[in-house]
Each structure stands twice: as C-alpha cells, then as structure tokens.
Structure 1
Amino acid sequence: MWPLLGSCHPAATPRQPGLAFVEEFARPGVGFNWRNVSCGLCKAVFTILDIALLNDLNEERVAYAVGEACIRLHLADELVCRQIAELFRDDFIRALQQSLLWPTEACALLVGPSCGKFDIYAPWNITLPKAPKPPITPPSPPKPGSPQSRVLFLTDIHWDQEYVAGSAADCKDPLCCRNGSGFPGQRQMEAGYWGTYSKCDLPLWTVANLLENAARDGPWDWVYWTGDIPAHNVWSQTRKQQLSELTVISRLIHKHLGPNVTVYPAIGNHESTPVNSFPPPFVHGNRSCAWLYDTMAEEWAPWLPKQALKTLRYGGFYTLEIQPGLRVVSLNMNFCARENFWLMVNSTDPANQLQWLVHVLQASEDKEEKVHIIGHIPPGLCLGSWSWNYYHIVNSRYETTITGQFFGHTHLDEFQMFYDEATMTRPLGVAFIAPSVTTYIKLNPGYRVYYVDGNYNGSSRLVLDHETYILNLTEANHSPGAPSIPEPNPKWTLLYRATEAYGLKSLFPSDCDGMLRTFINDDQVFQKFWYFRFKGHVSLPCKEMCKTTLLCLLRSGRYDELQNCDLVNGLGGNLARAARKTLC
C-alpha cells in the first residue's frame, strides 16, 4: 500500500510561508493524501507488519488491516482502499519479507530521509574504467545548412479505456471522466470529447488523432517514446489489461507512423501492475517482470534488433545503433525509483544496469560514437545513490560521449542541468523533460519535436532546438457556431519553439545555463517559461519563493543537489520531499 500513496505531481506539504510553488505543484493526484501518513504511523505499521508476517497465515489479515487503515485515515474511498490493499498484497508483502530493512529504514526509503536514515545498502559506487578521459572540447554550432535530424518525442500517453465524453469530470474517485464517474450535476464540469481539464486521462480517439497529425507532419528520422501507457486507475488494473493496452498503443503507433519510421521505446512506471512494481532480475517465476518484458519484446520486435530484445527481456533496458556514429541507450528508470518497493530487498545498482551503461559508454567512446540516453523518470528524482552514480558517470567520465538525455514522467515541460562535479558551475549536460500526451492533471494534450545536429562527419549530435505542440481543448471541444459540438478534425498547433521563445542560438548546455540566468534576471521571460511548462494552461503566475524553488529544480540533475538547493532556500526539505513523491 505505502509505495502507492502519492500524486502525479509532487505532493502537498503543510502550509508554510513561501511554499506557494510546492502547493501549486501539489495538484490532486492519484487521490491519496500523504499529509495523513506521518513518520510515526509509517514506523508503527512496519513494526506491526514485521511481527505479523513472521507467520504466512497472517497475510490476509494484514491486507485487511491495511485496507482498514487506508479507509480510516481517509487516504481514499473505501472501494479504492480495498482494491489497493488486495492488489498490492502479494508482491509488497513478499518484498517486505525478503528485505532486511528495519521500520525506520523502510520508511526512510518510502517516505523520505525526514522519516529516518536509509543506508543499509548505500552509498554504493559504480566502477569506472581506468582509461583516461578524452580532452574536453566545447561544442561548436553546426555550419549553416548542415543536416539536422527531426525526432518525434512521445511520453505519458495514459490511455483510459473507460473514458466517457459527458461523464463527470469532478468525481469523488482518484480518476474521473470515465464509466462509473457518474454524470455532472448543475454547475459541474463534464468530460469533453477530446479530453478534459481535470483529473482525467485520454480517450483512444485523441491518441489516434495525435498520431494521425504527427504522421502528416513528418517525415521523422526516428521516434523516442518514454512510456506510461495505461491510465491512472492504479487500484483496479490487471496484467491482462496492461498487456492489452501495451499491444494496442504499440500497434497504433506502428500503424500511423508507418514501417519506415523506427521507434525507440523506454519503460514507464505505469506499465506494470501493481504500479511501480518492477522486481530486479533476481526475482523469478510469476512475481518477476517476465510477463511484461516478454510482451514488450514481441510488440517492439519490428523496431529493435535481437540483441536489444535480449536485454529488454532481462531487465527492461537496451542499446542499439541509430545511425553510424550515434547510439541510443534506453534505461529502465524504475530501478532508481523510491516507489519501487522491490528496492527494499536490494537497491544497489538493480540488474547491474548502471555498470552495463558504463560498458556501453566506454565501447562508444572507443569507437568515437555519440550516445543519446532515454528513460522515463528524470535522474534528478531518483534514489540518492542511484542519482549520484548516474551523475558521476555523465560528468566525471562521459560528458563528451553523452550528447542527449530525454525523459518524461512529470507531465510538464521542464529540464534539469548537469554541471561539472568540481565546481558545479560549468554546464556540460541537459536532461530534457518533455510534456505529456495526457491531460492529467488540467493540461492540454501535447507532444515534443527535437531538432538534433544531423548525420554527417563531425556532428555533435546535440539538441539544437525543440518545439512543443498542443491540442487546445477549449477550441477542440467546441466548434465555432456550435459550442455543444466538438471539432471533428481539431488542429494540433505549435505552442512554441525554444530558440525563438527564449532568444537562443541553440540548446547546447551553455545555452540552457544562460537561459536559467535569464530567468533569474528577467521575470517576463521566466513567466513565459512557467506558461509553457503547463502546456499553455495555467492560471496563476509563479512569483518569489515559487520562482526560487523552480529554479532549484531546473538546476538539479542530481538528487542531493535538489536537497541542498532546497535547504539553502529555507524550505526545510519540503521541495525535495515533494519532488520525490511523483507517480505520473
């Protein structure tokens, strides 16, 4: 139960002066209230669980007790609490039985360091090769007329099979606009045909319409797709449903984009059920992720070669050559996620993924390849040791090899900077975080287009620019002259192009660092970023502490940097704690 209690956006914190940003970020999520889960309660529950689970016969009683606690603490409605307790029972209890964590350590892992110290396996270090680091040469802008690669980026689709236009958009459940949400009363919002500004996901016809428009806007050199296919009804999902949705969306993408466009997917945290449950490869049998990885390998076989499918089946990650001189690495970021309760058993480099990454990067360096890394959860939101090691790999050794990092998960339009470890002032990398396809929560549907230095000898393969496209739901759900009738063929429009919006020459790390400095000194430019961050649908400006803390988030490609920035600005850990609790 505990790893599930979170929200799509960072959770709300007790109201304090200057916490406007955290509160703005804390929109209603999956419907559970972290404010009712104190450290004392967490530790008490885990102490009781440790004692009770010494006897396997108590498992059903424990699940019932957890459901009762959920109900009495008003963490969710009774039906949701019961279903969640039952859904999580087997896997969570098995992970807890196999873990060596004391209650204080378990709560530190799941709730955060304010609730204890989680150091049973941390810190841990990845071994880097002894070969000397290549000389650092600042990248130069490509010559005018140089080839560019045009890359479509999709993330966080969250298709809701039960979406019903006209249903209640403000229901009591964690997810609305669906069969079972009821119908709106007077002055209540109803679900729009193409999507809704509420705690709702998307109907399939909106996803199909996006892909139809994207196909017309091609050609695409390739596509990055970073996961989260199912809707946010995380309390009532089954393996059969998850696999069905994976199959439908994978085939829909293949159908609309065609056989000549290669798609490189990454795994989101919502692909499994229970949500966030990704046991490392040492877990075998029915509790393993083989049911999910095997189906992914079957559906993605048209895009991925045999060797990539082999590591995908093993641990949900892979690498392959996109073009001569450019390689993609798709990471399974669920192995860095605090909400993945299997990491209570062992959180030290799950599946040896980071050590594998080092081997891939060293081989690419030896061949003078450039590497793009794709994944779902941004590295700055990962467990501390995982985040530190990833940052160390990027900065200490392979900054000239890794030329692009692309993530999703937050549903917002953001980025996180990487700086040299010695001074934390020289910008050397950017993790681009693209906005979601879904509307969850109160957003326009959207997608991203990246322009990358192209396929020619000496190309930097860095991101030169990007565009964000949206479907304006206010216009799409109401035809001109017939407000009650949706547009039959709505237009996906360009929201902005980064270099034009911010007056930049490119999106090299130095340019993005300069943009951050502009945000500090020019509030008009920063407010423009704030508007774009929510895909053109935000009501309140971001001022004072809101602005300061958001700048913290953008500078923090490493989790401990987020913590430090948080504490320096007097938030007492609230921003870091809120940023961790994402379940998008």
Structure 2
Amino acid sequence: MASRTVSSLGGLFLLLIAWSYSSAVPLSHQGPRLDLGYGWSNITCTTCKALVLALDISLQVESNMDLVAEVAVKVCKTLHLAEADICQQAVQLFKQDVITAWVMSVLRPSEVCGLLLGTDCGHWDIGSDWNITLPPVPKPPIQPPVPPPPGSPTSRVLFLTDIHWDHSYAPGAPATCKEPLCCRSQSSSDGHNPAGYWGEYSTCDLPLHTIQSLLQHVASNGPFDRVYWTGDIPAHNVWEQTRTQQLDALRTITGLIRKYLGPVPVYPAVGNHESAPVNSFPPPSVYGNLSSHWLYHAMAQEWEEWLPTPALETLRTSGFYTTKIAPNLRLVSLNMNFCATENFWLMVNYTDPAGQLQWLVGVLQEAENNHEKVHIIGHIPPGICLKSWSWNYYRIVNRYEATIAAQFFGHTHLDEFEIFYDEETLSRPLSVAFIAPSVTTFINLNPGFRVYLVDGEYPDSSHMVLDHETYILNLTEANKMPSVAPQWTLLYSALDTYGMKSSYPSDWDQLVQRFFWDDRLFQIFWFLHHKGHVSEVCEEACKTDLLCILRTGRSNDPQLCKDLNHKGKTAKRRKSLC
C-alpha cells in the first residue's frame, strides 16, 4: 500500500514539474509546433485526481519530499514524459520549489487536474473573484488622438525581447535531436541537419556571436533615444539550469548591451526565463532561499547605471518599478510573472501578487494628476495572463486610457498585438499592446528586433506609437557565408506595408477588419507574424483564431470574438507559450 501511494505521489509531482517545464517551451499557436514525442495522453483524469489526493496527504510529512522525487524520476521515465537524463535533472531542479508551493497552497484535485489536463477533467478558475480598487476620481473626458503637428520631434525606441542566449550553441551540431533544445555541443544526433553558424531554423536558440552582431548593427544604425528590453535572457535548456548560470547570462548580456549602446538609457523588464527553475517567482511574502531576492538583487546591481534609486528599491523587492524618463513621460516596468499561468507559486497567493496592480493604479493616478503620459513595458502579454489578473489590468487600462500612451510586450516570439476596447460596449478601441518578435530563432524563426517610432518630447505630445519597423537576419543568406559579417535588414514598416494612415488603436482595429475580408493582406501579416520564415499555410480556422488573438487584450473573454464565431468560425484562446 505504501509503495503504491508513493508511486502516485511521484506521478503527480512529475505532472507538476512537467507542467512547469513544458510551459517554458513555446508552442506557436499558429506556426510550427514543437512535438517532443511525449504527451499528456499518458495521464488520465481519474489517475490525476487520485495522485493529487495522495499528494495532499503524504506531503504533510516533510521527509517524503526526496522519496517522492525519486519515484517521480521513475514515473517520468516509465511514461516517456522526457528523455531519461532530462527526467532526472528536471525533477531535482524543480523539486523543492514545486513541492513547497504545493504544500503552501489550498488547491483541490479538480482545480489542479483542470489546469494540467484541461477543462474536461476539472474546473480551473483560480483567482476569479478578486478586484483591485480604483480611486473615486472621475475619469477625464475622452479625447481621440490626433496626429502631431508637422515637424514635431520623433523618438526612436529600440525594443529587444527574448534573446535566449545558448552558451552551448555549436555550429555544425545536430539541428534536430531528441532533446527539447538542439544545435548544442551535447545534442544527440537525430539526422544530418547541421546547425548554421549564425543560427538555425529549428528548436534552437542563439550563439553569442549572433547577439553581438545584432548589437553591433544597432549601435551603428542609431541614434536611439532609449531601449526597452523585456527579458528572457537564458536559453530553453530549462531542465539543467542553475542560479549561477542564470546570473552569468544576465551579466553577460547586460554587459554587451552596455558595451555596444553606451550612453543610451536602457529600461529592462523581468522575463519568465530569468529564474531557476524557470517560471519560479514567489510572492514577496516567501522569504529565505526560495525567494527571488537572489535574482532581483543581481538585476538591481547590474542595472543601477540605468535606473534611479527609487526604481531599484522596488525592483529589489518585487521585480517591478517606475521612473520618469522624459519631462512629461513616465515608464512602468511590470513583473508579468505575477500574472503567468506557469508560475506555480501563484498557487500560494493569486490575489494581486505583490500588490502590483494596486501599485500600478497609484502610479497611473499620480501620473494623471501631474499630466504625465505613461509607457508600460512587460514580458508576458496581458491577454494570456491568469483571467482575474488580466481582467483587472483591462479595467485599469480602460480607466487610464488618457494617461497610458503605449504598451510594449514580448514573450510569444511572434509579431502580433492585442487591442483593448471600452468595457461598456467592447466596440471602441482605446489602447494597443504591441507584442514584438524575438531576438532568438526558437522555433523556426529568423532572429529579429524592432524599432518603435514614437511621438517625441514637446508640449502636449501624445507619446503614442506613430509607426514601427521590424528588422531580421535572414539565416538562409547569412549561413551561406559564415565568415562574412551578416546583414540585418528591414523586414517591413507597419504603416507602409499595411497602408495605414496612422498607428492609433482605431487604425489597428480597422486593420483586423481588413484582414478578415482581404485574405491577401492577411497572408502578408501571417508571413511577417513569423519574421519572414513560415512554411505552413494559415487557412480558415487558423485565420479566425489569430484574428481573435489580435482583438483580445484580456484572457478568456468570448465576447471579444463573438462576431467571428457568428461567421461560422471557432475562435480559440491561446495558451501561454513560453
């Protein structure tokens, strides 16, 4: 009886680890999907619920942790959830964090299995009943945006996200392999497709020399007024990462950005891959060795040349901050890990973790009082956050639409956006969350970066995005001559390519409508969505799903896509990708 119980516990623990691990691997919701050969079909709903119940009972005894971990490795191998060595490494890496978060949580079997296996197995609706408090100050009258006066200054903002440097990338190594991340010196051979010198169209991240090439290019093609950098520095070898390795990646890439961009101010945000284990971001109430202080303090030390003291203080505590970056412009950098479905620590506290959204309300109200505009940056787009967090954020954007000039995110590795509408009718577009493509190639992409052209600093500037340009390194061409410095080229500019008069929320809403009726234009977007490298065709169901994503700034809201459904389509909400 005892051995059967331990086996069940190991299986459930493995499920929790596999959830955290697999959710760190981006599966393009429309593009090429990563198939590891290991699936959830090996776990039934009944088995899952039995494991959860057994785990609840057993983990009341602390000494069971190591025993559960040992059995979890065996279960992982038996069910072929990963390669044997990855099973071993992943369980040991995630063991303490996941089990501690589990013990501190109050989840029921139906909730956990609904999260892991889908709504057919149980109901996962954690955190649906909390709300932030808005001040009683009336919302200012709505003022539609107007183009800046002729000759007004424009700011150029360099945007970098999802760099994912793989220190083990090896040109010539197998580009297809049994592990979740290939093109590495230790990758197992699974074919005869060697990794290119500058990167590869596969489940591979980037070598350091490609990142240096990008930074050399932007350094010689400035000037830039500032840099927004929204995280995910380490590679996707999440089963073997240590805190030491994560900090080395942080210091290495920060040092290169400082080296090549010099005096240009840089404003970073925390990604979900910065921690070890991945997606492990406890609320500030968790102290000691399991807290995120080791990461936040290192970030504050590395970024102290870029941020003022008050910003560094909140960064050290919770990973978010605000700072004034121009006479009438304020920046807010959010820690979007406190909204992430993959952050297993939210099982402990999912009600506005770290008080971040209530803090954001205070920052925005003060900015409104001082007639400041605000740019918000973060890693994970709000439309794929936990539902209650996402809906509260949507409410905040609605209230402060006159103050929030722009929103910038990354994480999906793809080129897309999310439109925000007025809460009353869901028909008037009032804000856009721009989602920039990744620096990394993961999965099957060209390396890339973005430049935003923003209304500049002058009295009554809107500080809104006027246009954006996306640049790529065409790997097909670059890898033909590995000894020659590669050419980073303009892939497209939004206004020119899409024939837009301006880049305001109403323009992006109209563009989505044009995508629906003009399939030729939509297929151009589909190509650019993947940074100029895609082999799949996006047909009717795919198109409807993607149009729904573009219109959905808050998660799990069928109202935002009901007209698409009415036209005979089935709009699906995307899962968290990275």
- TM-score range relative to shorter protein: over 0.9
How far did residue 25 of structure 1 move?
3.8
Partner residue, 2:413:
411
1:521 aligns with 2:517: yes
Within 5 A, what are the aligned runs for 1:278-289?
A: 278-289=281-292
1:337 aligns with 2:340: yes
CA gap of 1:117–1:573, structure 2 versus 1, over 3 A, is farther
User: Which of 126, 131, 135 lines up with 2:141 in the alignment?
Assistant: 135
How far did residue 38 of structure 1 move?
4.5
How far did residue 29 of structure 1 move?
6.5
1:545 aligns with 2:562: no
Whether contact under 8 Å (1:7, 1:30) holds in the other structure is no
CA gap of 1:256–1:5, structure 2 versus 1, over 3 A, is same
How far did residue 564 of structure 1 move?
6.5
CA gap of 1:573–1:517, structure 2 versus 1, over 3 A, is closer
Q: Which runs of 5+ in 1 are unaligned?
A: 12-21, 480-485
Aligned residue pairs total 560
Partner residue, 2:470:
468
C-alpha separation in 2, matches of 1:503 and 1:114: 44
How far did residue 55 of structure 1 move?
1.3
C-alpha separation in 2, matches of 1:497 and 1:37: 46
Q: Secondary structure at the match of 1:329?
A: strand
1:27 aligns with 2:33: yes
C-alpha separation in 1, matches of 2:329 and 2:194: 47
1:5 aligns with 2:22: yes
Q: Secondary structure at the match of 2:538?
A: coil
Within 5 A, what are the aligned runs for 1:38-77?
A: 38-77=44-83
Greater alpha carbon shift after TM alignment, 173-182 vs 100-109: 100-109
Whether contact under 8 Å (1:387, 1:559) holds in the other structure is yes
C-alpha distance after superposition, 1:188-239 (max 9, x if no partner): 2111000000000000000011000010111100000000000000000000
Letter in 2 for 1:535: K
Letter in 1 for 2:421: Y
Partner residue, 1:508:
504
Whether contact under 8 Å (2:159, 2:227) holds in the other structure is yes
C-alpha separation in 2, matches of 1:265 and 1:217: 21
CA gap of 1:476–1:73, structure 2 versus 1, over 3 A, is same
1:347 aligns with 2:350: yes
Greater alpha carbon shift after TM alignment, 140-149 vs 221-230: 140-149
Letter in 2 for 1:465: D
How far did residue 118 of structure 1 move?
3.7
Partner residue, 1:204:
208
How far did residue 5 of structure 1 move?
2.7
How far did residue 40 of structure 1 move?
3.5
C-alpha separation in 2, matches of 1:114 and 1:390: 28
1:150 aligns with 2:146: no
Whether contact under 8 Å (2:170, 2:184) holds in the other structure is yes
Partner residue, 1:14:
none
Whether contact under 8 Å (1:31, 1:174) holds in the other structure is no
Whether contact under 8 Å (2:230, 2:377) holds in the other structure is yes
How far did residue 104 of structure 1 move?
1.4
CA gap of 1:218–1:562, structure 2 versus 1, over 3 A, is farther
CA gap of 1:510–1:565, structure 2 versus 1, over 3 A, is closer
CA gap of 1:315–1:439, structure 2 versus 1, over 3 A, is same
How far did residue 101 of structure 1 move?
1.0
C-alpha distance after superposition, 1:79-128 (max 9, x if no partner): 11111111111010001111111121223345554442345643100000
How far did residue 70 of structure 1 move?
2.1
C-alpha separation in 1, matches of 2:285 and 2:131: 20
CA gap of 1:399–1:34, structure 2 versus 1, over 3 A, is farther
1:122 aligns with 2:128: yes
Whether contact under 8 Å (1:405, 1:431) holds in the other structure is yes
Partner residue, 1:536:
532
Partner residue, 2:330:
327
1:448 aligns with 2:445: no
Whether contact under 8 Å (1:9, 1:26) holds in the other structure is no
Partner residue, 2:572:
575
Partner residue, 2:5:
none
Q: Which runs of 5+ in 2 are unaligned?
A: 1-16
C-alpha separation in 2, matches of 1:393 and 1:159: 35
CA gap of 1:32–1:266, structure 2 versus 1, over 3 A, is farther
1:370 aligns with 2:366: no
Letter in 2 for 1:161: H
C-alpha separation in 1, matches of 2:24 and 2:279: 13
Partner residue, 2:12:
none
C-alpha separation in 2, matches of 1:552 and 1:231: 30
Greater alpha carbon shift after TM alignment, 443-452 vs 32-41: 32-41
C-alpha separation in 1, matches of 2:491 and 2:173: 29
How far did residue 456 of structure 1 move?
0.6
C-alpha distance after superposition, 1:332-374 (max 9, x if no partner): 0000011100011110000000000000000000001000100
Partner residue, 1:560:
556
C-alpha distance after superposition, 1:289-329 (max 9, x if no partner): 00000000000001000000000001000000010110110
Q: Secondary structure at the match of 1:248?
A: helix
C-alpha separation in 2, matches of 1:30 and 1:153: 31
1:168 aligns with 2:180: no
Letter in 2 for 1:547: K
1:93 aligns with 2:99: yes
C-alpha separation in 1, matches of 2:199 and 2:41: 30
Whether contact under 8 Å (2:32, 2:443) holds in the other structure is no
Partner residue, 1:489:
485
How far did residue 543 of structure 1 move?
1.3
How far did residue 400 of structure 1 move?
0.7
CA gap of 1:545–1:102, structure 2 versus 1, over 3 A, is same
User: Which of 214, 220, 233 lines up with 1:229 in the alignment?
Assistant: 233
C-alpha separation in 2, matches of 1:106 and 1:573: 26
CA gap of 1:437–1:232, structure 2 versus 1, over 3 A, is same
How far did residue 563 of structure 1 move?
8.2
Letter in 2 for 1:219: P
How far did residue 64 of structure 1 move?
2.0
Letter in 2 for 1:84: A
Superposed CA RMSD:
2.0
C-alpha separation in 2, matches of 1:534 and 1:121: 33
Partner residue, 1:195:
199
How far did residue 573 of structure 1 move?
8.9
Greater alpha carbon shift after TM alignment, 149-158 vs 60-69: 60-69
Letter in 2 for 1:448: R
Letter in 2 for 1:204: L
Letter in 1 for 2:67: R
Partner residue, 1:391:
394
C-alpha separation in 2, matches of 1:59 and 1:437: 39
Partner residue, 1:482:
none
Whether contact under 8 Å (1:184, 1:190) holds in the other structure is no
C-alpha separation in 1, matches of 2:359 and 2:153: 32
User: Which of 423, 441, 452 lines up with 2:425 in the alignment?
Assistant: 423
CA gap of 1:541–1:559, structure 2 versus 1, over 3 A, is same
C-alpha separation in 1, matches of 2:101 and 2:548: 34
Q: Secondary structure at the match of 2:158?
A: strand
CA gap of 1:6–1:223, structure 2 versus 1, over 3 A, is same
C-alpha separation in 2, matches of 1:88 and 1:516: 41
Letter in 2 for 1:557: G
How far did residue 513 of structure 1 move?
0.6
Q: Secondary structure at the match of 1:49?
A: helix
User: Which of 239, 247, 259 lines up with 2:243 in the alignment?
Assistant: 239
